[in-house]
């Protein structure tokens, strides 16, 4: 992969650009994609932003989201844009398989592909790009790119809101260890431009339905197991649990973090039964590398303290398998 600087000449004249991000997008995925899309449009490019799937409700307020295509709903339009584009930019993921149904189309596309991402171990399938696992968020990396282009003054309130959402959500509101001085400096710069950080925090975190709140209560009472001697917590959600509360995409967001608020718990796992696979989310505090754990046992990856993976076995089998591994490796969690 050549450095992103080498790709900048491609942006010297108006281009048709296809931007995408990972399936089940989070605040950083949509925030970095939208922030970049709005910026590139200001520079005169024709940009199509495509989410591989549904966008959670708590991100629907984001500027420009109405123009974004959900691949699962607008497949033909998205594939047409992919076919016609001059350039493909991928943000907040580093393996085509994270885009689910778009995977094969991205792999087959012959246009130059650019990566902007902060996950560990990028696949060698991009022509140009930037991959920095130490970066707080892809939102911060897009901010850096805009500065590299000498365009800081083009960051308007809409772009700022998008990029800040990526920064805020991926740093756990500025509390995770990835929250560097540069992350705070970016927040300070956006604030000086007039960013309303309170409103953005409320849009993302205080926009629950009553049902989601009651679902959380149910999950914490009925579905969470704490293994104090392993410093670990586990939440398991079957289709039946999700259906019982008619849980929407986004309603499980953040659930995995709750066990980590219990004193002594350093490793938290959420196992969710989906229609086509069993999905696992991992979070840790301190020195337990959940990215390596996800890669080794669950066909996944991610960051040191936040990762995910999957199995193709059944939901009950996955729980048994997970508990066996936990009892085997628990000495590593401290």
Q: Would you tell me which residues interact with ligand 5GP (CB under 6 A)?
A: 22, 26, 95, 98, 119, 281, 300-303, 306-310
Q: How far apart are CA 249 and CA 308, in angstroms?
A: 17
CB-wise, 33 or 85, nearer to ligand 5GP? 33
Our CA dihedral for 236, 22, 40, 129, rounded to 10 degrees, sits at: 120
Least distance from C-beta 306 to Mn ion, angstroms?
A: 9
CB-wise, 98 or 231, nearer to ligand 5GP? 98
* 48: partner contacted, choices ligand 5GP, Mn ion, none (Cβ within 5-8 A by kind): none
* 50: partner contacted, choices Mn ion, ligand 5GP, none (Cβ within 5-8 A by kind): none
* 303: partner contacted, choices Mn ion, ligand 5GP, none (Cβ within 5-8 A by kind): ligand 5GP
Strand arrangement of the beta sheet that strand 87-91 belongs to:
2-3, 128-131, 113-117, 87-91, 16-20, 46-51, 69-70
- Conformational region of residue 195, where left means phi above 0, alpha means psi within -120 to 50, and beta covers everything else: beta
CB-wise, 139 or 302, nearer to ligand 5GP? 302
Least distance from C-beta 87 to ligand 5GP, angstroms?
A: 23
- Residue nearest ligand 5GP, CB atom distance: 308
| Residues near Mn ion (CB under 5 A) | 28, 92, 138, 170
Return the bridge partners of 210, or none: none
Q: How far apart are CA 38 and CA 164, in angstroms?
A: 14
Least distance from C-beta 138 to Mn ion, angstroms?
A: 5
* 308: partner contacted, choices Mn ion, ligand 5GP, none (Cβ within 5-8 A by kind): ligand 5GP
- Conformational region of residue 246, where left means phi above 0, alpha means psi within -120 to 50, and beta covers everything else: left
Which ranges in the chain belong to alpha helices (H)?
Answer: 27-42, 75-84, 103-108, 138-148, 157-170, 181-192, 197-205, 210-222, 239-244, 290-298, 315-329
Least distance from C-beta 91 to ligand 5GP, angstroms?
A: 11
Least distance from C-beta 199 to Mn ion, angstroms?
A: 22
CB-wise, 113 or 118, nearer to Mn ion? 118
Least distance from C-beta 183 to ligand 5GP, angstroms?
A: 16
How do 46-51 and 16-20 pair as beta strands?
parallel
- Residue nearest Mn ion, CB atom distance: 28
* 301: partner contacted, choices Mn ion, ligand 5GP, none (Cβ within 5-8 A by kind): ligand 5GP
3-state secondary structure (DSSP) of residue 269: strand
CB-wise, 92 or 251, nearer to Mn ion? 92
CB-wise, 259 or 302, nearer to ligand 5GP? 302
Residues near 148 by beta carbon (within 8 Å), at least 6 away in sequence: 4, 5, 8
DSSP 37-51: HHHHHHTT-EEEEEE
* 266: partner contacted, choices Mn ion, ligand 5GP, none (Cβ within 5-8 A by kind): none
Least distance from C-beta 236 to Mn ion, angstroms?
A: 25
Q: Among 161, 145, 148, which residue's Cα sits nearest to residue 30?
A: 161
CB-wise, 55 or 306, nearer to ligand 5GP? 306
Give first-to-last CA distance, the chain, whole Å.
37
Only one residue has tokens 């499980």, namely 252
């Amino acid at each position: 992969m050549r450095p992103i600087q080498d790709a900048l000449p491609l942006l010297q004249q108006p281009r048709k650009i296809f931007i995408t991000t990972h399936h089940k997008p989070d605040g950083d995925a949509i925030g970095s994609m939208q922030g970049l899309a709005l910026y590139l449009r200001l520079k005169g490019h024709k940009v199509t932003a495509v989410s591989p799937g549904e966008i959670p409700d708590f991100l629907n307020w984001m500027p420009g989201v109405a123009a974004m295509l959900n691949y699962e709903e607008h497949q033909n339009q998205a594939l047409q844009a992919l076919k016609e584009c001059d350039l493909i930019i991928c943000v907040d993921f580093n393996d085509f398989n994270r885009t689910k149904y778009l995977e094969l189309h991205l792999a087959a596309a012959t246009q130059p592909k650019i990566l902007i991402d902060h996950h560990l171990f990028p696949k060698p399938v991009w022509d140009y790009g930037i991959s920095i696992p130490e970066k707080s968020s892809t939102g911060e990396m897009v901010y850096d790119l805009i500065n590299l282009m000498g365009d800081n003054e083009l960051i308007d309130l809409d772009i700022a809101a998008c990029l800040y959402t990526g920064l805020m959500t991926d740093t756990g509101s500025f509390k995770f260890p990835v929250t560097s001085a540069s992350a705070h400096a970016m927040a300070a710069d956006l604030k000086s431009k007039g960013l309303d950080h309170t409103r953005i925090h409320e849009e993302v975190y205080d926009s629950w339905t009553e049902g989601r709140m009651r679902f959380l209560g149910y999950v914490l009472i009925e579905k969470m197991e704490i293994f104090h001697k392993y410093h670990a917590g586990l939440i398991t959600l079957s289709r039946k649990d999700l259906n019982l509360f008619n849980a929407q995409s986004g309603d499980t967001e953040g659930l995995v973090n709750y066990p980590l608020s219990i004193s002594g718990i350093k490793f938290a796992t959420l196992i969710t039964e989906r229609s086509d696979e069993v999905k696992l989310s991992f979070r840790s505090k301190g020195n337990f590398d959940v990215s390596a754990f996800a890669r080794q046992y669950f066909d996944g990856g991610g960051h040191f303290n936040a990762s995910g993976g999957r199995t193709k076995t059944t939901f009950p089998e996955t729980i048994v398998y997970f508990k066996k591994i936990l009892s085997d490796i628990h000495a590593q969690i401290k």
